[in-house]
Structure 1
Amino acid sequence: MNTHLCPACGQPNRCTQAVSDSPITHCWCFEVDVKPQALQDLPPEALDRACLCPRCAQALPAQDD
């Protein structure tokens, strides 16, 4: 599993913890409430292994780019 990608949408998750080997003191995820429904559809093997991206963590609809 690539810990740099969101397990829900496959986009970069921008997680500071995923790219740092040393202890971190701040990441975007420290400031956002992860919506419970954002975790419901993840496969069990993805839980606690890779961070969601900010959009998926907030259970926002996907954007068309």
Structure 2
Amino acid sequence: MREFLAHARLQQADEQWQATYGTRAGVEGTIHQAVAVTGMRRARHLGTGGRVVRPARLTRR
């Protein structure tokens, strides 16, 4: 286990890894913010046969 952690920490020191992780962290932050604001946990794509999640203001008539 120590070898695995040491190897992972070595990889994390690499600039390319940090750039990739920075992008991922940005995407996850955006998703978190969207969930916090809208309260939606999941949305399915059109055409997959699943239900479509729309904002409440668009579904009320």
User: Scaled by the length of structure 2, what TM-score is found?
Assistant: 0.23
User: Scaled by the length of structure 1, what TM-score is found?
Assistant: 0.22
**Bigger RCO of structures 1 and 2 (CA < 8 A, at least 6 apart):** 1
- Decide which structure has greater helix share: 2
Structure of greater Rg: 2
